[in-house]
Structure 1
Amino acid sequence: MNRKHIILFTVLGLIAILSLQTIWLYNTFVLVRNNIYEETNEILDEALTEAIADFSKLGVPEGTAISSGPINDSIPANTYFYEGLWKLGIEISLSDIDSLTNNLLNRAGVESDFFSCWVNPQNGEIYQKSKLQTIAVWGAIKSEIIPVRTDLSLGIQLILTNPYWTIFERMGLLMIATAIMMIMVITCIIYQIKIIIRQDKIAKVREDFSYAMIHDMKTPLSSILACTSLLHSGKTESTPQLKERYFCIIEDETGHLLNLANKVLTISKLESHKLEMAKITFQLKPMVEDLIEKFSAKCAKPLHFTLNLQAEEVHGDEEYLKEAISNLIDNAIKYSYQTVDISISSLNNATHTLIKVHDNGIGISEKDVKHIFEKFERASAFKRSRLGKVAGFGLGLNYVYQVMEAHEGSVTVNSIEKEFSEFTLYIPLKTNDL
């Protein structure tokens, strides 16, 4: 399964989870809203009951009886009572209902603006409000209409205009838990995608590295095998110079394989912090001149070096620093055109010795600059080389990076495609311990 399919199925799974959570929250919202609706009905009924509970306050003459309706009547029994009061000339006050309702809402923990009103029970038309408030387009909760006339021409209703805070407050714990769970799920999915992409990249890097390793080791091994076969056959016994040449080839190719193996082993030790640097103060010029002589002798391209060593001494591990600079020179030659110009300079600032290796090669793109110090990066990109097949495992620059890390220094690169590359090594100056 490729990366696109993994991301697609992950996104679809995330959408499914979000959909289920949305449905769950919506159903909970509806349930809480219905509970508040039931509480509103009970509060209005209780407010009406309390409003007419004391006959003496209503001005009902002592001994007055108000008859109820017939048994099994569809009209509520209290409606006959409300209508009886009306016939006696006693009106139920909306302001009294509001006052009682406010106390009951506070007791029930329902926070909302509200008003009571006279309405038509048959079509819901509002005749009179207790307050000059508008009804929200969305979210308002209307209680059931309690009829106060037996002909159902008038009823009373309680309307909560903005019960949102109460709804969300009652859903608060659930919403917080849902938010935390969704953040965890999304974080885990993103982390999972990153791991899958990284594993996919590692698999490709390993495949490319294996191919590059086999390709680069095949040539020296073939040379060693061919030379040993000729020497074993005895055909070179009569030509000592040719025999010596074959021995030199075997020695060089064996040394090349050994250097590759040591480089891999050294990087592994540096990454695990098992390799200690033997730091000394040494002269930079002899080391650089030795490298110039070595590369000038074996380079197949026209090669020219320019030196500007203002800092003559360096404090560090001479062997590993020499190999690091050697890798930079080797890359400069590999990734250059027909004529190679390399400038090596050094200087001191307040805290570091700077060694710069500048070349006139193909340069490095801004995109690749971010990854060139990663292990096997050369192996993962060698097929894209504009100079054809270039030998190497992609360990050289990572080796430089690890050596500078071990020196508690750093390495930077400045490059423009098709123009130049310049690598700068920052090596800490020697400090005198007090």
Structure 2
Amino acid sequence: MKSRQIKIFTIIGLLALIALQSIWLYNTYILFSNRIYSDSNDILKKSLNREASIRFAQTPKGTIISGATTPAKKNDVIVPEIAYMNEALQKLGLELSLTDIDSLANDFLKATDTKSTIVICLMDSKTKEIWDKSKNNLNIHSFGIIKTDIVPVRTDLSQGVQMILINPYYTIIKRMGLLLIATVILMIFVVGCIAYQIKIIARQNKIAQLREDFSYAMIHDMKTPLSSITMCTDFLHSGRLDNKPEMKEKYFSIVKNEANHLLTLTNKILTLSKLENHKLEIDKRNILLKPVIEDLKEKCIAKSAKPIHFTIDLEAKKVYTDEEFFTELMSNLIDNAMKYSKESIEIKISSHCDDRYTIIKICDNGIGISEKDQKIIFDKFERTSATKRTKYGGPAGFGLGLNYVYQVIEAHEGKVYVNSIEGDFTEFTLFIPKIMEEL
């Protein structure tokens, strides 16, 4: 399955999970809302009965109020006892008090740990027109409220009382608190796992691409020396060069150089592997910089097909390093300057010291490195000047040279930096720690 398909299925799965979790939370919200609705209906009825009892206590001693003798029905609706009670009390001049009902309902709500602003409304039972409210200064909107059933307060069912809870969300969210916290934790965990999975997939794809690029580069880079070795050995084996000792020696030199090239490449890969696993021992000692750089300079001038000029300025004469690895490191940097160069090559090598480090700079006038590629040039198998990345094209290679430089400097507990402007220059700066006795 391709990476894109995996990502699509992963996103679909995540959206499905979010949808299911949202439905679950919504149903839970409705459940708690219905519970508050049910409790509010009970509270309104209790408040009406209590308020009626308070008014009844104000009637003359011996007053008797009778309710329905049989289950009175009108339009198939049972007339509640409170309607008979309220109607009788009103005839005695004791009017219904919405303010008292509001106060009683608030007390009952507090007992159920429900926090909400309430309004008691007297209304027309049929048209739902509000005639009076317990809080006249409060506007009632249609959003974010819970309404109780209308409780009739007239035996003809023409009037009723309703309690409205405004913004009871605090109570609902509080009751859903643990569920919401668990949901958030679960979603964070799931999203984290999916993000990690996508990261792993991306890393695997990168590794696969690196493997493919490495295989291609290896075949491409080894094909030329192997072809040269095969061709030269065929000529030498045929005997046609037996009477031409100079030509024969030249072909032997070609075979030897190409074989050494392959051996050097193999050793570099093995050395990098050991350096990465900290299995390679570094034999550090003070060495003279000038002989190493002069030797590399002569070799480069001899093999360069382009005009090449070196400027060498060595204020620091020595460096505390492993000579073999340091020589190969410098060779890689100079070789890169030659590979990724313009029509003529200018290489400047300088050195100086500070309190802790010997600082060596290698600067060239080549094609440079883009800002984006400067972040990855020290990664294994990365070749920022490969044909696919630059209009200049570039030589074949494994992308091991700069990674070798980085690994060797790290093994020396030093630092390496690059400064470059694309199309102008590239400068590598090496910070190699000085011997402890000199600090």
Shorter-chain TM-score: which interval? over 0.9
Q: TM-score, normalised by structure 2?
A: 0.93
Is 1:314 aligned to residue 302 of structure 2?
A: no
Deviations 1:20-55 (A, max 9, x none): 222222222122111111111011111222233467
Question: Compared with structure 1, are the counterparts of its residues 207 and 380 closer, same or farther at alpha carbon in structure 2 (3 Å cutoff)?
Answer: farther
Instruction: Report the counterpart of residue 135 of structure 1 in structure 2.
Output: 140
Instruction: Report the counterpart of residue 218 of structure 2 in structure 1.
Output: 213
Letter in 2 for 1:62: G
Instruction: Report the counterpart of residue 10 of structure 1 in structure 2.
Output: 10
Instruction: Report the counterpart of residue 90 of structure 1 in structure 2.
Output: 94
Question: Compared with structure 1, are the counterparts of its residues 194 and 28 closer, same or farther at alpha carbon in structure 2 (3 Å cutoff)?
Answer: same
Is 1:267 aligned to residue 272 of structure 2?
A: yes
Instruction: Report the counterpart of residue 245 of structure 2 in structure 1.
Output: 240
Deviations 1:295-340 (A, max 9, x none): 1111111111110111111112221122111111111111111211
Instruction: Report the counterpart of residue 183 of structure 1 in structure 2.
Output: 188
CA contact (8 A) 2:415 2:430 kept: yes
Instruction: Report the counterpart of residue 36 of structure 1 in structure 2.
Output: 36
Structure 1 position 433, deviation (Å): 9.5
Deviations 1:334-361 (A, max 9, x none): 1111211111111112322111111111
CA contact (8 A) 1:408 1:427 kept: yes
Structure 1 position 206, deviation (Å): 1.1
Question: Compared with structure 1, are the counterparts of its residues 216 and 329 closer, same or farther at alpha carbon in structure 2 (3 Å cutoff)?
Answer: same
Structure 1 position 399, deviation (Å): 0.8
Question: Compared with structure 1, are the counterparts of its residues 348 and 230 closer, same or farther at alpha carbon in structure 2 (3 Å cutoff)?
Answer: same
Instruction: Report the counterpart of residue 64 of structure 2 in structure 1.
Output: 64
Between 183-192 and 157-166, the greater mean CA deviation after superposition: 183-192
- Note the aligned Cα RMSD (angstroms): 2.1
Between 111-120 and 329-338, the greater mean CA deviation after superposition: 111-120
Is 1:280 aligned to residue 276 of structure 2?
A: no
Instruction: Report the counterpart of residue 289 of structure 1 in structure 2.
Output: 294
Instruction: Report the counterpart of residue 164 of structure 1 in structure 2.
Output: 169
Aligned ranges 1:346-425 → 2 under 5 Å: 346-378=351-383, 381-425=386-430
Letter in 1 for 2:24: W
Letter in 1 for 2:210: V
> How far apart are the structure 1 equivalents of 2:9 and 2:386?
29
Q: TM-score, normalised by structure 1?
A: 0.94
Question: Compared with structure 1, are the counterparts of its residues 30 and 258 closer, same or farther at alpha carbon in structure 2 (3 Å cutoff)?
Answer: same
> How far apart are the structure 1 equivalents of 2:58 and 2:230?
120
Structure 1 position 389, deviation (Å): 4.7
> How far apart are the structure 2 equivalents of 1:8 and 1:381?
32
1:342 counterpart SS class? strand
Letter in 2 for 1:270: L
> How far apart are the structure 1 equivalents of 2:35 and 2:8?
41
Question: Compared with structure 1, are the counterparts of its residues 125 and 60 closer, same or farther at alpha carbon in structure 2 (3 Å cutoff)?
Answer: farther
> How far apart are the structure 2 equivalents of 1:358 and 1:380?
17
CA contact (8 A) 1:205 1:379 kept: no
Instruction: Report the counterpart of residue 120 of structure 1 in structure 2.
Output: 124
Structure 1 position 271, deviation (Å): 1.2
Between the two proteins, the alignment pairs up a number of residues equal to 434
Instruction: Report the counterpart of residue 307 of structure 2 in structure 1.
Output: 302
> How far apart are the structure 2 equivalents of 1:180 and 1:164?
22
1:208 counterpart SS class? helix
Aligned counterpart for 1:193 among listed residues 185, 190, 198: 198
Instruction: Report the counterpart of residue 78 of structure 1 in structure 2.
Output: 82
Aligned ranges 1:224-235 → 2 under 5 Å: 224-235=229-240
Instruction: Report the counterpart of residue 249 of structure 1 in structure 2.
Output: 254
> How far apart are the structure 2 equivalents of 1:31 and 1:250?
85
Instruction: Report the counterpart of residue 100 of structure 1 in structure 2.
Output: 104
Question: Compared with structure 1, are the counterparts of its residues 144 and 287 closer, same or farther at alpha carbon in structure 2 (3 Å cutoff)?
Answer: same
CA contact (8 A) 1:204 1:380 kept: no
> How far apart are the structure 1 equivalents of 2:384 and 2:418?
19
Question: Compared with structure 1, are the counterparts of its residues 333 and 380 closer, same or farther at alpha carbon in structure 2 (3 Å cutoff)?
Answer: closer
CA contact (8 A) 1:379 1:393 kept: no
Instruction: Report the counterpart of residue 342 of structure 2 in structure 1.
Output: 337
Instruction: Report the counterpart of residue 46 of structure 1 in structure 2.
Output: 46
Between 417-426 and 187-196, the greater mean CA deviation after superposition: 187-196
Q: Which sections of structure 1, spanning at least 5 residues, go unmatched?
A: none
> How far apart are the structure 1 equivalents of 2:69 and 2:355?
104
Between 351-360 and 55-64, the greater mean CA deviation after superposition: 55-64
Deviations 1:349-389 (A, max 9, x none): 23221111111111111111111111111289443343435
Between 20-29 and 337-346, the greater mean CA deviation after superposition: 20-29
Q: Which sections of structure 2, spanning at least 5 residues, go unmatched?
A: none
2:417 counterpart SS class? strand
Question: Compared with structure 1, are the counterparts of its residues 60 and 238 closer, same or farther at alpha carbon in structure 2 (3 Å cutoff)?
Answer: farther
> How far apart are the structure 2 equivalents of 1:385 and 1:314?
35
Letter in 2 for 1:401: Y
